[in-house]
Every structure is written in C-alpha cells, then in structure tokens.
Amino acid sequence: MIGKVVVVDERVELAMNVAKYISDKFDIANLEGRKISDFSLDMVHKGIGLLKRDNRDSVLMETMETGDEPREFFGELWFQNQKLKASPKKKWVLRLFNAETNRDEAYSLAQRLAIEYSVDISIRLVQDEPLLESIGA
C-alpha cells in the first residue's frame, strides 16, 4: 500500500473555520469589502473582511439583480499583521467601522472568537461612519 500525502494550509483553514463559525451573522469578504467564496491563500491568509448579514439572500448576484443596497462592511479581522501585532495563534485584531453603532456587537463577536479559538482579540475603533460592501469589478 502506498501512503498518501495531504497538505493542509493552516492559514487558509483558519479563515475557513472562522467564516463557518460566524456565518450566522456575517458573510466573508476580502479586506477591501468584496464578498468572497473562494478561500485562496492570497485572499485570506492575513485576515478577512466581515459583511453584515441581513434578511435578504446573501448571494451577491441576487443583490445586484434586485437593486438592493450593498451590505455594511462591519470590519476587518486580522490574523497576521506585524504592524497591528496580530499573530494567528496569539492575538487577532478586529478593525471596526461604524464604531458607535457596532461597538456592542463587535465586543460580543470578539468574546465568542476569543473563547472558541483561545486567542486575545484587540478591537480597534477605526471610524464612526459606515462603510459599504464593494460590488463589481
């Protein structure tokens, strides 16, 4: 019998696991706020963007076809960033947009993630104005 070699990229696996864990409230975006469904290393190894889920179907094409407004870009969750001092196994950084409105929800999310993944999470209040999902090319 010949053995198998399986390569698991923990950097992508972390983003996928977090995305699944928070999928009840957020869709995953790149760090510029564009919804993604492909968890390639280039897209997510340093962090992910968080789009607030709403009551409509979260499929981007349907959003564009119905003419609905883009969703709110809640923030960026960094797993690895030297400047922010984020490290995948020790400390993550949540950069929050629309800080006054989203502060309590961000705190609740950070608590959930900190417990689930045994990491410290720093919440950075970036701006009080909301940002919106990037749609299009």
Within-domain flag for 20: yes
Per-residue pLDDT tens over the stretch 52-110 = 987 444 444 444 444 567 899 999 999 999 999 999 999 999 999 999 999 999 999 99
Rounded to whole angstroms, the Cα distance separating 76 from 95 reads: 5
**DSSP percent split of the chain into helix, strand, coil, nearest 5:** 30, 25, 45
Domain that holds residue 26: 12-132
Residue 1 counted as domain residue: no
Has residue 2 been placed in a domain?
no
Q: Does residue 26 lie in a domain region?
A: yes
Number of structural domains the chain divides into: 1
Q: Is residue 106 part of a domain?
A: yes
User: Quick one: how far is CA 63 from the chain centroid?
Assistant: 19
Q: Is residue 123 part of a domain?
A: yes
Q: Is residue 3 part of a domain?
A: no
83 within domain boundaries: yes
pTM of the model: 0.81
